[in-house]
Amino acid sequence: MKLISWNVNGLRACLGKGFLDFFQAADADIVCLQETKLQPGQVTLELPGYAQYWNSAEKKGYSGTAIFTRQTPLSVTYGLGLEEFDHEGRVITVAFESFFLVNCYAPNTQRDLARLPYRMGWEDAMRAYLQKLDQIRPVIYCGDLNVAHQEIDLKHPKANRGNAGFSDEEREKMTALLSSGFVDTFRALYPQTTDAYSWWSYLHRARETNAGWRLDYFIASQRLFSQVADSKLLTQVYGSDHCPIELDLVEPCLPR
């Protein structure tokens, strides 16, 4: 079973940069998108064989998530069920018999950590939400989580210490999540792999020089990790400032 997650940084723009070619070639069972930047009705995708679920921000041209899945979920939930966090289209949860899949575009802490208090509240709410789901069935939590957890997860850790995405506070929240029964699948499989990133600034030829950050994750309940065959960064795929990431699960986890 193959899952893909990709921050497309505006789906309409990404459609003009080969998104559908990638989608067809990937032949994934489930595709999760972040930062779609779409309102309902602004784009119509013909994706035969896939059910589509969208969560748009109230603010136009901002945030947004989507899930395309071959298997119809048992249920679909939008947001966290908390008023302060559910206006930006950041979360979609789909339930299958074997697991929950939570697609997330985490809030950016912004320049000078202007949104750090909001982000800290978000992280606590998300961790509680994931733990609650995990009591029912295992969880796969994916998306652009807007944090490089360890120094190995970005090219220039010393220069970026304390910046958005690499503040001590954000990193500690990721540690807290992983300490509560969850696994960073890529890092668990490749603990020593360096220069493995999923986002590059458009400035200073960052992608050409691989001066990147690993901000995109597939995180799984510990008891589901035995079913993980691989967790990959698809760095050869362009179309956004992020590359897609892939999670391969041992069959049969989800029937087609």
Active site residues: 105, 144
- Strand extents, DSSP E, 128-211: 139-144, 182-184
Backbone torsions φ then ψ of 87, nearest 5 degrees: -110, 0
Q: Decide if 34 contacts 67 (C-beta within 8 A).
A: no
Backbone torsions φ then ψ of 31, nearest 5 degrees: -125, 125
- DSSP annotation of 11: H
Q: What sign for the dihedral angle of Cα 155, 125, 228, 75?
A: negative
Scanning 1-153, the segments in alpha helix (DSSP H) are 11-15, 19-26, 116-134
Q: Cβ atoms within 10 A of the Cβ of 208, count?
A: 8
Cα-based distances in Å from 160 to 110, 165, 173, 192, 207: 13, 9, 18, 21, 17
